Chains A and B, each alone.
Chain A
Amino acid sequence: MLANTYERLKTQIGRRSFMKMAAVATAAGATNAFANDGVTRAATQEEVKNPFPGSTSVKTICTACSVGCGIIAEVQNGVWVRQEVAQDHPISLGGHCCKGADMIDMVRSEVRLKHPMVKEAGKWKRLSWDDALDRIATKLKASHETAGPDSAMFLGSAKMSTEQAYYFRKFAAMYGTNNIDHQARI
């Protein structure tokens, strides 16, 4: 059904609309002929198909909920430039709710964290990864020795990949505690 529309749009409107420069004013009451004629350069095939030349499409999965909708991400020069429609995905059939439709902003949101930070004397300070990890590990190690491994609590996430979740569990086990949990318990 929609696939038919898609096919038709692709084969007919797609090509035709490229000639809209000459064909905008019709009998339907549009009195305003298109005025800007200086721009009728013939488009390259690449432009017709793809406004982001040289981009690639990556098939991936939405991170919002457990339905598991398909996402097609268009990537140009290492930048996610556009979220495309995964019309052929067997669960979502291209559909998204508002969260899924805006997955691209998970990556490019301006309020993302940009570097490690630590609060010292009530002030946020930037620090390097090495400094941060060294300091965290030193504290974890010290508590392991003095108070014992059960002085740590690990809260993992249903937002991780399965592999990461598995390694998170392993991390707690090798640190030496069963104080580990995630969002299934809410």
Chain B
Amino acid sequence: MSDIGNARLKFYCDEHRCISCDGCSVACAEAHELPANINRRKVVTMNEGIFGLEYSLSIACMHCTDAPCEQVCPTDCFYIREDGIVLHDKDKCIGCAYCLYACPFGAPQFPQDGAFSIKGVMDKCTMCAGGPEETNSDKERELYGQNRIAEGKVPVCAAMCSTKALLVGDSAEISDIYRERVLSIGHGAKTQPYGWSTAYGSKI
């Protein structure tokens, strides 16, 4: 296992498993008490209704390593944590939406209520890591939502994913999970390690 300092926290959505049930997006909205129609996370379905071509993916802020939003922000409100989570300071943000121009995923959201209301100026996925305010303070929860990472909990969207399509965590860990999924193909519904029966037959 790699040290946490060496791998970044990432999301991954397995399109073979995503059934666009919106469990992730509603879990997110509910956990952080977002205003309706602020979509920190959104499920997108492509080619709807066409056999063999329809697929769905759940999209949020991808917490880029070289985050374009952070590059273009005129007030320098973004900061990137040691573990790779991209966060921003709503007290500095002016809501100009330049980050929306820069973002390849449409992640930044702008609540209608204005700068001083429920979720502030620009709002986006925090990977459930809150913001720069005091951890688990009322102000942090008001502006950024829950800080589950501080509690040692998995971000709520992936934790509640109905089919475990959406994965989150240390990127090395995610590729381990996905690799295991790929290698398990065709080996039956067993919870045992894969490959042993193939290699040694029924002797073990």
A–B interface present (Cβ within 8 A): yes
B81 interfacial contact with A, CB 8 Å: yes
A118 interfacial contact with B, CB 8 Å: no
With contacts A2-B154, A8-B169, A14-B152 known, is A95 near B161, CB below 8 A?
Answer: yes
- Among B22-30, B49-57, B98-106, B112-120, the stretch that binds chain A is B22-30
Q: Tell me which residues across on chain B come within 8 A of A93, comparing CB atoms.
A: 164
Q: Tell me which residues across on chain B come within 8 A of A43, comparing CB atoms.
A: 135-136
Q: Is the CB of B152 within 8 A of A10?
A: yes
Which residue of the partner chain, among A9, A28, A94, A102, contacts B30 with CB atoms under 8 Å?
A: A102
Name which residue of chain A comes closest to B2, CB basis: A8
Q: Is the CB of B134 within 8 A of A95?
A: no
With contacts A18-B135, A51-B141 known, is A32 near B78, CB below 8 A?
Answer: yes
B177 interfacial contact with A, CB 8 Å: yes
On chain B, the number of residues with a Cβ less than 8 Å from chain A's Cβ atoms is 62
- Among A82-90, A122-130, A132-140, A176-184, the stretch that binds chain B is A82-90
Cα distance, A24 to B24, chains bound together (Å): 27
Q: Is the CB of B152 within 8 A of A85?
A: no
With both chains docked as a complex, state the minimum distance between the C-beta of B85 and any C-beta of chain A, in angstroms.
9
Interface positions of A from 65 to 105, Cβ below 8 Å from B: 82-83, 85, 87, 92-102, 104-105
Q: Is the CB of A49 within 8 A of B151?
A: yes
Q: Is the CB of B23 within 8 A of A105?
A: no
Q: Is the CB of B162 within 8 A of A95?
A: yes
B149 interfacial contact with A, CB 8 Å: yes
A4 interfacial contact with B, CB 8 Å: yes
Q: Is the CB of B27 within 8 A of A96?
A: yes
B65 interfacial contact with A, CB 8 Å: yes
Name which residue of chain B comes closest to A15, CB basis: B152
Name which residue of chain A comes closest to B86, CB basis: A30
With both chains docked as a complex, state the minimum distance between the C-beta of B156 and any C-beta of chain A, in angstroms.
7
B38 interfacial contact with A, CB 8 Å: no
Q: Is the CB of B80 within 8 A of A28?
A: yes
Cα distance, A85 to B157, chains bound together (Å): 10
Q: Tell me which residues across on chain A come within 8 A of B92, comparing CB atoms.
A: 35
Name which residue of chain A comes closest to B1, CB basis: A8
Q: Is the CB of A105 within 8 A of B151?
A: no
Q: Tell me which residues across on chain A come within 8 A of B91, comparing CB atoms.
A: 36
With contacts A51-B146, A95-B164 known, is A1 near B159, CB below 8 A?
Answer: no
B160 interfacial contact with A, CB 8 Å: yes
Q: Tell me which residues across on chain B come within 8 A of A85, comparing CB atoms.
A: 153-154, 156, 159-160
With both chains docked as a complex, state the minimum distance between the C-beta of B30 and any C-beta of chain A, in angstroms.
5
Q: Tell me which residues across on chain B come within 8 A of A12, comparing CB atoms.
A: 4
14 contacts between A and B (CB under 8 A): A1-B177, A5-B170, A8-B173, A9-B169, A10-B152, A14-B151, A20-B82, A25-B79, A39-B134, A49-B152, A51-B146, A97-B22, A98-B23, A102-B26
Chain A residues proximal to chain B, CB less than 8 Å: 1-2, 4-6, 8-18, 20, 23-26, 28-36, 39, 41, 43, 47-51, 82-83, 85, 87, 92-102, 104-105
A16-B82, A36-B91, A82-B31 provided; 9 other pairs, C-beta below 8 A? A8-B169, A11-B152, A16-B4, A23-B81, A26-B81, A36-B132, A39-B134, A85-B159, A101-B30
Chain B residues proximal to chain A, CB less than 8 Å: 1, 4, 9, 21-27, 30-31, 65-67, 70-71, 76-84, 87, 89, 91-92, 129, 132-137, 141, 146-147, 149-154, 156, 159-164, 167-170, 173-174, 176-177, 180
List the 7 closest A-B pairs by CB distance, nearest first. A14-B152, A10-B152, A101-B27, A98-B26, A5-B169, A98-B22, A51-B136
